[in-house]
Structure 1
Amino acid sequence: MDAAAAPTGPTAQRFYRHRLPVRLMHWINVLCLTILLMSGLQIFNAHPALYWGHDSSFATPWVSMGAEERDGRMVGVTRIAGHAFVTDGVLGVSASGRGGEPMARGFPSWATIPGPQWLSMGRHWHFFFAWLFVLNGAAYLLYSFFSGHLRRDLLPTREELRRIGASVRDHLLFRHPSGEAAKRYNVLQNLAYLAVIFVLLPLAVVAGMAMSPMLDSVLTGWVDLLGGRQSARTLHFLAATGLLLFVLVHVFEVVISGVWNQLRSMITGYYQVPQDSASRTRPRGVEETRERPVVSGDSRRQP
């Protein structure tokens, strides 16, 4: 939220919430993450099982998705740490997309690109958008550091950290900030974005690179720090799962807090600040005192 205020009226205020570089990099991330997720599932379907260590111990996978014969028919079963769950129709066994006939596959065909079963092209798509994603992420980090966006908008203050319990309660009760509080990220957003930027994304990238035999041969030994290539594959999958959960929560919050207002801020940069209770209850004819415009890039910690 690299922002500057732009008041437009006595009781309503438009706020320049996201600068152009942030908006561009956000939508590039949306494109990259969508294609990386779906092409990654295409690659995973070639061998829908996860292991820990250097080798694929086929008899005892940590996670596996497959088909089992039950009551004379093929049933999709997902196994996690030795526990079996029937996931027929979604995981393990799903419609093929051609006539709706069920077939054994990890994830369903609608969740994979560029096709129902095209491993080689899925790898090309995954690697291309992975590098685009890495370059975009590096650009975002450089911009955030040199523009002050990281320090100003993403790092929570001590006071905000002390109020983390109240922020959790507000989220559980679907209470959304208004007035001045709506112009900056809350502490849970700060912590979530920091975890994504400095934990999940680097883990996904490093674990993905660890699966490359070429990189392992050029820089030997470092893959062992992740527990081996199969461990790296598992860590890559877990990091991707964490990113997917973050995206789902992020989209949910956008929906319940005002879809158009949130989308407009990420398309045009301008956000309509929700009025606080004092502004909504002010008697008609009493004009609100116009705030001083916030200096560009100084939105979070105002005097």
Structure 2
Amino acid sequence: MTRIIVQPQGEGDKRPKGNLVRRQSIWTRLTHWLWVLCLFFLLFTGLQIFNAHPSLYVGEQSGFEFSNSVFSIHAERMPDGSIGGFTTIFGNKFETTGFLGYSGPEGREQVRGFPQWLTIPTYQDLATGRVVHFFFAWVLVGTLAVWALASLVNGHLRRDIVPGRADLRGVPGDVVRHARFRFVRGRRYGPLQKLSYFVVLLVLFPLIILTGLTMSPGMNAAWPWLVDIFGGRQTARTIHFVVMVLLVLFFVIHVAMVILSGPINAMRSMITGRYRIDAEEEERP
């Protein structure tokens, strides 16, 4: 049962404000911030690792006698003798000098996939990148396991994450409201929130973990069926990269929605667990 905490009405919002309700459990808040920490280091160390071979393929392997590349970042000598950076996606080549392929301070440019300000460490150091990446990868796995167990026990998974039929029917209308910047501050997540969190927590997180394990020679020996499921280590690496891009897009949209819908209210919810709902939402179950 949701506990209502009576607090003074806020000012500056034209809509009538309701009371503060206990919306997030300690487990949801703790795992949320651990994921933020993990994903930060996983992203930038992952780009460090990717820079060791900035190309993606589909299939069991890559080779010189055939081409199965779907994405690559590289540098080429330009007609005028200078070096340029290029990105190739499904055979379509784009010049990306200064960002991808060839970047760095003026006069000290380097041939590298992603620029140094997007990698940890900033200099090329595959060994350190792998150590930090694997450490936070296992922290991510442990955090997801704790969240899943706690969410099953306290009902958060069933109540707030897995969308029901009513939620799915309400997605189109919720998309329209978001497009018009009309946000409903209710006791529970809206249809679009539930669907997006379901995809991230129960689809993308497990997928990026499993594809990461598939790239490990040790796991290939222990669980050879992982390679078969994803159609080869190279395909798993490509899926791993694509999921990373999707998680970054989710993060950007998530932060934008927090800012647009009321950052103070949203941050209070993820720090203290208390969330101020709209007055008209108080009577809803």
| Structure 1 equivalent of residue 191 of structure 2 | 187
Percent pairwise identity: 44
In the alignment of these two chains, the number of paired residues is: 275
3-state SS of 2:258 partner: helix
| Structure 1 equivalent of residue 26 of structure 2 | 20
| Structure 2 equivalent of residue 147 of structure 1 | 154
* 1:77 matched to 2:86: yes
- Cα offsets for 1:49-94 (capped at 9, x unmatched): 0011111235632100011222321111100000011111111111
For normalisation by structure 1, the TM-score amounts to 0.85
User: Structure 1 residues 233 and 123 mapped into 2: Cα distance closer, same or farther (>3 Å)?
Assistant: same
Structure 1, unpaired ranges of 5+: 280-290, 293-300
| Structure 2 equivalent of residue 62 of structure 1 | 70
Shift of 1:196: 1.0
Deviates more, 1:64-73 or 1:185-194: 64-73
Which residue, out of 122, 127, 131, partners 1:120?
A: 127
For normalisation by structure 2, the TM-score amounts to 0.90
Which residue, out of 197, 201, 207, partners 2:205?
A: 201
| Structure 2 equivalent of residue 89 of structure 1 | 98
| Alignment-mate amino acid for residue 108 of structure 1 | P
Instruction: Give the distance between the partners of 2:232 and 2:223, measured in 1 at CA.
Output: 14
* 1:248 matched to 2:248: no
3-state SS of 1:183 partner: coil
Kept in 2: contact 1:262–1:271 (CA 8 A): yes
| Structure 1 equivalent of residue 273 of structure 2 | 269
3-state SS of 2:122 partner: coil
* 1:8 matched to 2:14: no
Which residue, out of 46, 56, 68, partners 2:52?
A: 46
Kept in 2: contact 1:67–1:77 (CA 8 A): yes
Kept in 2: contact 1:65–1:78 (CA 8 A): yes
Kept in 2: contact 1:91–1:108 (CA 8 A): yes
Instruction: Give the distance between the partners of 1:240 and 1:51, measured in 2 at CA.
Output: 16
1:165-244 maps to which residues of 2 (within 5 A)?
A: 165-178=172-185, 182-244=186-248
User: Structure 1 residues 224 and 156 mapped into 2: Cα distance closer, same or farther (>3 Å)?
Assistant: closer
User: Structure 1 residues 100 and 122 mapped into 2: Cα distance closer, same or farther (>3 Å)?
Assistant: farther
User: Structure 1 residues 3 and 248 mapped into 2: Cα distance closer, same or farther (>3 Å)?
Assistant: farther
Instruction: Give the distance between the partners of 1:3 and 1:150, measured in 2 at CA.
Output: 16
Kept in 1: contact 2:163–2:198 (CA 8 A): no
Instruction: Give the distance between the partners of 1:161 and 1:217, measured in 2 at CA.
Output: 41
Kept in 2: contact 1:3–1:19 (CA 8 A): no
Instruction: Give the distance between the partners of 1:195 and 1:84, measured in 2 at CA.
Output: 32
| Structure 1 equivalent of residue 43 of structure 2 | 37
* 1:131 matched to 2:138: yes
3-state SS of 1:62 partner: strand
The structure with the largest alpha-carbon Rg is 1
CA RMSD for the aligned pairs?
2.1
Shift of 1:199: 1.3
Instruction: Give the distance between the partners of 1:188 and 1:273, measured in 2 at CA.
Output: 17
User: Structure 1 residues 219 and 158 mapped into 2: Cα distance closer, same or farther (>3 Å)?
Assistant: closer
| Alignment-mate amino acid for residue 76 of structure 2 | E
3-state SS of 2:20 partner: strand
Shift of 1:9: 4.2
- Cα offsets for 1:273-302 (capped at 9, x unmatched): 2445xx9xxxxxxxxxxx68xxxxxxxx72
Shift of 1:21: 1.4
User: Structure 1 residues 166 and 220 mapped into 2: Cα distance closer, same or farther (>3 Å)?
Assistant: closer
| Alignment-mate amino acid for residue 139 of structure 2 | L
- Cα offsets for 1:4-34 (capped at 9, x unmatched): 4322247641122211111111100000011
